[in-house]
């Protein structure tokens, strides 16, 4: 067995440890792995170019980031805070539970890119949750504000992670199907998706309880 192609792993580890340019490190590791595996250099470069061309739609994500930055510059977070401050009965707990339900349902329908940390949590959900917490419990210390932001990010994670498996045409479901099939258990993606529903409901109930308990704990800490 030829172990030389594994040198690409060493290049990645060493390059990141020395804080070289990540793109340069990854491309160098890929070229080294291909050449050491006995492939022609031109063939390796062609494979890299084909992979980039096949997945070029991923670059569209970077177009969204300047738009979000421009919206934040012109007061998106302030508008979000102001909207929450003007809503009667709005609390941090209720807001995050509502977002959890939205995120999980949207992911279950295959719309997993509607939310996200960069697109929704940082510019909208976290500022709204922080404003709701301040409105309910009064001014908060910096560490409590950081905890509110962290809970907003965790809510997005839980909603996406346990919601997307309900959608049968997702990569994770296909991976699970492949593992079961290789072990002699032929299952359809729809069967796996249906069995993901109880887990998603339990995740929703547990995290909703955590959010509401955290909201109550913030209130007790201000007394």
pLDDT for the residue numbered 199: 93
At 191 the pLDDT is 86
Tens digit of pLDDT for each residue in 47-72? Answer: 877 776 665 555 555 666 677 677 76
CA distances (Å), origin 32, targets 2, 9, 26, 36, 49: 14, 10, 10, 6, 16
Q: Among residues of the chain, what percentage have pLDDT more than 70? A: 88
Domains of the chain by residue range:
4-54, 62-221
pLDDT at 79: 75
Distances (CA, A) of 47 to 5, 40, 59, 79: 16, 11, 18, 47
Distance between CA atoms of 174 and 194, rounded to whole angstroms?
A: 14
Mean pLDDT of the chain: 83
Q: In which band, very low, low, confident or very high, does the pLDDT at 146 lie, cut at 50, 70 and 90?
A: very high
Give the per-residue pLDDT at 152: 95
CB 108 within 8 A of CB 167: yes
- Write the DSSP assignment of 57-92 as a string of letters: GGGGHHHHHHHHHHHHHTTHHHHHHHHHHTSTT--H
pLDDT at position 62 = 61
Residue 41 has pLDDT above 80, yes or no: yes
Entry pTM:
0.66
């Amino acid at each position: 067995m030829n172990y030389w192609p594994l040198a690409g792993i060493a290049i990645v580890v060493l390059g990141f440890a020395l804080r070289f340019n990540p793109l340069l490190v990854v491309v160098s590791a890929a070229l080294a792995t291909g050449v050491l595996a006995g492939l022609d250099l031109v063939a390796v470069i062609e494979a890299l170019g084909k992979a980039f061309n096949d997945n070029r739609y991923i670059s569209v994500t970077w177009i969204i980031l300047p738009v979000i930055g421009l919206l934040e510059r012109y007061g998106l977070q302030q508008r979000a805070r102001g909207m929450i401050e003007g809503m009667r009965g709005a609390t941090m707990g209720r807001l995050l539970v509502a977002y959890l339900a939205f995120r999980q349902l949207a992911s279950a329908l295959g719309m997993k890119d509607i939310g996200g940390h960069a697109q929704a949590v940082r510019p909208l959900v976290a500022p709204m949750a922080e404003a709701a917490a301040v409105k309910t419990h009064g001014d908060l210390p910096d560490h409590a504000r950081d905890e509110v932001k962290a809970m907003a990010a965790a809510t997005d994670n839980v909603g996406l992670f346990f919601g997307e498996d309900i959608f049968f045409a997702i990569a994770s479901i296909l991976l699970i199907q492949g593992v079961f099939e290789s072990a002699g258990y032929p299952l359809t993606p729809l069967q796996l998706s249906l069995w993901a529903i109880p887990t998603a409901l339990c995740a929703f109930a547990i995290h909703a309880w955590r959010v509401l308990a955290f909201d109550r704990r913030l209130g007790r800490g201000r007394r």
